[in-house]
A and B are shown apart, each in its own frame.
Chain A
Amino acid sequence: GESVGLHLPTLSVQEGDNSIINCAYSNSASDYFIWYKQESGKGPQFIIDIRSNMDKRQGQRVTVLLNKTVKHLSLQIAATQPGDSAVYFCAEGPNQAGTALIFGKGTTLSVSS
């Protein structure tokens, strides 16, 4: 079936470095994607989203890039901080009310100071 997945299960960076977390999706009809952050013992929290009519969207220290040609999106975190340590998931968003998110496999980001 259709799926959303991540390339690497773990990523370790030094504090202050930039982090890039990747995700590949298989459903070419998908038009909405979200990145979530899940800290230990908590539920996923929204970070940033992007629609298929865009190829880049920036937030505070985070940027999401979408390449529809190769069905790939990435999350870039600038000046990574220890508080960014968490599991990051990309998710395929609903295209209508009543449908749920489809999550990819997560990437565990570890930031050392």
Chain B
Amino acid sequence: SAVISQKPSRDICQRGTSLTIQCQVDSQVTMMFWYRQQPGQSLTLIATANQGSEATYESGFVIDKFPISRPNLTFSTLTVSNMSPEDSSIYLCSVQGQGFDEQYFGPGTRLTVT
């Protein structure tokens, strides 16, 4: 299994500002995923981040709003740009294990936009 940490664990931000969320994994992984979980809802995939290439975004999510960095095999960041109250969600980092059917999750970053 993989141990995943995220920073910050929570934040309250002003409308129009940006927040960068960090994801750190205790082992090298090829595939990392970023999910959004809106209040009381399920997880929705934002993008897939493969080290050394541009992130692949799901329908409804764009790079200008959610830029992602993947500088190495243990770290990734997700930025939520020009925030609005609708961006208030939990943002979760996830990694795929050695077997592609293994997927592990970080504890999430709870974002509130006022």
What residues make up the interface of A, taking CB atoms closer than 8 Å to B?
A: 32, 34, 41-46, 49, 89, 93-94, 96-106
Contacts and interface: CB of A to CB of B under 8 A. Distances in A.
Contacts of B43: 44, 89, 101, 103
Contacts of A34: 101, 103
Interface of B: 4, 30-31, 33, 41-45, 48, 50, 92, 94, 96, 100-108, 110
B2 to A, nearest CB: 11
A100 B48 contact: yes
A106 to B, nearest CB: 6
Contacts of A42: 107-108
A67 B96 CA distance: 27
A68 B92 CA distance: 30
A48 B41 CA distance: 21
Contacts of B106: 43
A89 to B, nearest CB: 6
Residue from A49, A94, A104 with most neighbouring chain B CB atoms (10 Å) = A94
A32 B101 contact: yes
Given A100-B33, A100-B48, A43 B92 contact: yes
Contacts of A49: 101
Rank and list the top 7 A-B pairs by shortest CB-CB distance, nearest first: A43-B105, A97-B100, A103-B43, A103-B42, A100-B33, A105-B42, A44-B105
Contacts of A44: 43, 92, 105
Contacts of A103: 42-44
Residue from B41, B42, B92, B108 with most neighbouring chain A CB atoms (10 Å) = B42
B51 to A, nearest CB: 12
Contact of A96 (B41, B48, B100): B100
